[in-house]
Amino acid sequence: MNKITQLFNIKYPIIQGGMIWNSGYKLASAVSNSGGLGLIGAGSMYPEVLREHIQKCKNATDKPFGVNIPMLYPNIEEIMNIVVEEGVKIVFTSAGNPKTWTSFLKEKGITVVHVVSSSVFALKAQDAGVDAVVAEGFEAGGHNGREETTTLTLIPMVKEKIQIPLIAAGGIATGRGMLAAMILGADGVQVGSRFAASIESSAHNNFKETIINTKEGGTHLTLKELAPVRLVKNKFYYDVQTLYEKCPSQEELVHLLGRARAKKGMFEGDLDEGELEIGQIAGLIHDVLPVEQIIQQMMTEFDVACKEKSKFEF
Amino acid sequence: MNKITQLFNIKYPIIQGGMIWNSGYKLASAVSNSGGLGLIGAGSMYPEVLREHIQKCKNATDKPFGVNIPMLYPNIEEIMNIVVEEGVKIVFTSAGNPKTWTSFLKEKGITVVHVVSSSVFALKAQDAGVDAVVAEGFEAGGHNGREETTTLTLIPMVKEKIQIPLIAAGGIATGRGMLAAMILGADGVQVGSRFAASIESSAHNNFKETIINTKEGGTHLTLKELAPVRLVKNKFYYDVQTLYEKCPSQEELVHLLGRARAKKGMFEGDLDEGELEIGQIAGLIHDVLPVEQIIQQMMTEFDVACKEKSKFEF
């Protein structure tokens, strides 16, 4: 038991990333039923779709689960009202100012966690009254911070600045990665890519196959002028890089990006034209597994590594 | 005791990075005398200067020490002959093909370690017959790999591929960072920035002050078209970024870079026009200390972290 398992009333300090197009109620409830904290990813859902997933999640598990909400969402007020109406107990917020919604949610008795990429933002989140922060490093898949600070260096720097519980994200897919993050000062971990490559993820099978086929060096942080995002190096990625050779304007980048690329790639399985958001740790993920098995493997490896640690002597 | 302490016959699996303009015989011998492995950085030395540092290092310590040699060095044959003539027992090679010099050195009874940034290069080094590899992540200061793989993800991916001992580099300045790297599969760590900010480093005091004043986000990997290098965001760095806005040719970048910027910054202390090579972990380094104290602090923290138990039981 530690600060994070107590905060969420869960067995293991493993939180599933609320990834767009991957994180419906099936994934979230499977993670919660296996002792972690499942999160429904609101970022790719219309408000009424989100409501449906929350209701189905309540039916699929009696364990705690949460909703991840990017605050730049256009229907943000409607979304916030839905999580309150549906009695969601835990909300992770990202992509926005934690001051905007934290007190609204806290007044309703909701546990609030905010995702950051630096200790400056971590302090702001703590000041805004959140219950915990997720600090996410450069190796994470999808949207990412501008300072490019890696998880190994970010976690101890955030730990030095804040007092509230700290969750490490980016580059963690195994029990050893989890233990390493906790040795650095994290109280728990958020895991994305590993759960995207699970049976219960709502992503297209083509995307899941891509995760397990992605080798070391197979992803890159790009589109930094718009919003930095780590993508698999597929045709769309190389189209972006070719455009970069011509020193494009921001408008040209926006035009190439177009709309709904993430849905096209991750949900519809278009591996050429879609945006495929995966973390660097994909190089260590070799199979699509049921969530329960992923969590059991992580915890078994974690326990083995803990015992090793007590034997290091110089 | 483990594979790395046995390989080098040292007390602690801590290897000091052979950083240019920082790593003369004073730093190397201090690290070796404190139980780690000191390395003289040949990359910033004329051949006869290197010979002098090796001779002085032999006088300053009876413990094992080594020399770090970037193989792109123009006088590489002369350098290799000097390390053999002077009876150096350990050589770390970087920036080049490990096939070129490994058998030459091994035939002379020298222990050879090669620095890589990916598991593909780690395998090539193993095939070339080196005794160990250093795998260095994206967060490291100075020159860096093109794939931008972070230490947290690189170490387990390299570990999965090679059988020889593995040294983790990039982002490690503390006992906790060291233990995290070893949990991920490393047998030892190479530490740069922390030793650059030591009393015994040959760098200019201005540079040492810069390290301890660099905050999280204060460095950036740039000049990727030439050779990717992580620099402190000083005037020279911003001059490079301003040039990038104009979509420069490679020649324009080479022209702006000019010559001897690293010496100007790190050795002569010109904080505006110099190239200041520091890792992301500088944000966690707050004081310039004697080497012995750095190593003692690391090992004390390492031992404490090894013994922590209760918070890891779930």
pLDDT tens track for B260-294: 999 999 999 999 999 999 999 999 999 999 999 99
What is the rounded average pLDDT of the residues A33-38? 98
CB B190 within 8 A of CB B259: no
What is the rounded radius of gyration, in angstroms, for the C-alpha atoms of chain A? 18
CB A99 within 8 A of CB A119: no
The partner residues of A16 in beta bridges, in order of sequence, read A191
Q: In a 3-state reduction of DSSP, which class is residue A207?
A: helix
Which of B216, B231, B301 is the best mutation test for A, with the most CBs of A within 10 A? B216
Nearest CB to B157 within list A284, A308, A309:
A284
Query: Smallest CA–CA separation between A272 and chain B, in Å?
Result: 21
B156 chain-A contacts, CB cut-off 8 A:
174, 176-177, 284
Contact assignment for B157 to A216 by CB distance below 8 Å: yes
Q: Where are the domains of chain A?
A: 3-203+285-309, 215-281
Q: How far apart are CA A108 and CA A111, in angstroms?
A: 9
Contact assignment for A171 to B150 by CB distance below 8 Å: yes
DSSP string, A15-51: EE---TTT-SHHHHHHHHHTTSBEEEEGGG--HHHHH
Query: Smallest CA–CA separation between B311 and chain A, in Å?
Result: 6
Contact assignment for A283 to B153 by CB distance below 8 Å: yes
CB B198 within 8 A of CB B294: yes
pLDDT of the residue at B309: 82
Contact assignment for A312 to B182 by CB distance below 8 Å: yes
Cβ–Cβ contacts within 10 Å for residue B297, how many? 14
Cβ neighbours of residue A270 closer than 8 Å, sequence gap 6 or more: A206, A264
Query: Smallest CA–CA separation between A19 and chain B, in Å?
Result: 20
Q: Is the CA virtual torsion B184, B187, B189, B190 positive or negative?
A: negative
SS3 of chain B: the string is CCHHHHHHCCCCCEEECCCCCCCCHHHHHHHHHCCCEEEEEHHHCCHHHHHHHHHHHHHHCCCCEEEEEECCCCCHHHHHHHHHHCCCCEEEEECCCHHHHHHHHHHCCCEEEEEECCHHHHHHHHHCCCCEEEEECCCCCEECCCCCCCHHHHHHHHHHHCCCCEEEECCCCCHHHHHHHHHCCCCEEEECHHHHCECCCCCCHHHHHHHHHCCCCCEEEECCCCCCEEEECCHHHHHHHHHHHCCCCHHHHHHHHCCCHHHHHHHCCCCCCCCCECCHHHHHCCCCECHHHHHHHHHHHHHHHHHCCHHHCC
pLDDT of the residue at A311: 86
Quickly state the pLDDT bin for B73 (edges 50, 70, 90): confident
CB A167 within 8 A of CB A189: yes
pLDDT of the residue at A219: 98
pLDDT of the residue at B284: 98
CB A91 within 8 A of CB A112: yes
Contact assignment for B151 to A154 by CB distance below 8 Å: no
B222 chain-A contacts, CB cut-off 8 A:
none
Nearest CB to A184 within list B11, B177, B217:
B177
Nearest CB to A150 within list B12, B171, B309:
B171
pLDDT of the residue at A73: 84
Q: How far apart are CA A247 and CA B247, in angstroms?
A: 6
pLDDT of the residue at B193: 98
Instruction: Could you please state the CATH topology (level 3) that the domain comprising A3-203+285-309 is classified under.
Output: TIM Barrel (3.20.20)
Q: In a 3-state reduction of DSSP, which class is residue A9?
A: coil
Query: Smallest CA–CA separation between B265 and chain A, in Å?
Result: 23
Q: How far apart are CA A43 and CA B19, in angstroms?
A: 45
| A&B contacts, CB < 8 Å | 156
Q: Is the pLDDT of residue B310 over 80?
A: no
Percent of chain B with pLDDT over 70: 100
Chain length of chain B: 314
DSSP state of A150: -
Nearest-by-CA chain B residue for A306: B312
What is the rounded average pLDDT of the residues B34-43? 98
Of chain B, the end-to-end C-alpha distance in Å amounts to 30
Q: How far apart are CA B50 and CA B185, in angstroms?
A: 34
CATH superfamily, domain B3-203+284-303, is Aldolase class I (3.20.20.70)
Place of tokens 């594979």: B3
Nearest-by-CA chain B residue for A169: B152
pTM tops 0.95: yes
pLDDT tens track for B124-174: 999 999 999 999 999 999 999 999 999 999 999 999 999 999 999 999 999
DSSP state of A266: I
CB A101 within 8 A of CB A72: no
Percent of chain B with pLDDT over 90: 96
Contact assignment for A180 to B185 by CB distance below 8 Å: no
Q: In a 3-state reduction of DSSP, which class is residue A198?
A: strand
Percent of chain A with pLDDT over 70: 100
* ipTM metric: 0.97
Query: Smallest CA–CA separation between B271 and chain A, in Å?
Result: 21
Nearest CB to A312 within list B153, B217, B306:
B306
What is the rounded radius of gyration, in angstroms, for the C-alpha atoms of chain B? 19
DSSP state of A284: G
For the CA atoms of A84, A90, A92, A96, what is the dihedral angle to 10 degrees?
40
Which of A116, A159, A174, A183 is the best mutation test for B, with the most CBs of B within 10 A? A183
